[in-house]
Amino acid sequence: MTNLAELKEIAPKPIWNGVAARVVQGERITLAVVELEPNGLVPEHQHPNEQLGIVLEGSVTFRIEEESKRLGRGGTWRIFGDAPHEVRAGARGAVVIDVFTPTRTDWESIEDDPARSPRWPS
């Protein structure tokens, strides 16, 4: 990957059914623009990576451990390493930014899906 790129040049990775991410990978940090289809679900999971994020478009209902909240544009989250969490997109889907440290090396083996049309930025 080049050091400078337009988001539209980055092919999406299908992370879960109905959830794709365009990933910018650094040496110690991962930035992802994640697009969730309407009512798309990221099932409960956990990972050692710390995660921060913000909603750019649409809405999501996030659950981190026992805390749950619907978040619209500008809503943010922080997830400490190994905390169980899940998210469901609203009826119109969502576009979010997620940042992980250390990097999401588990995503490196996921094949890009260049045929998938990104919805953001429009």
pLDDT at 103: 97
pLDDT at position 122: 81
Task: Report the topology of domain 16-103.
Answer: Jelly Rolls (2.60.120)
3-state secondary structure string across the chain: CCCCCCHHHCCCEEEECCEEEEEEECCCCEEEEEEECCCCEEEEECCCCEEEEEEEEEEEEEEECCEEEEECCCCEEEECCCCCEEEEEEEEEEEEEEEEECCCHHHCCCCCCCCCCCCCCC
pTM: 0.95
Residues lower than pLDDT 50 in the chain: none
pLDDT of residue 59: 98
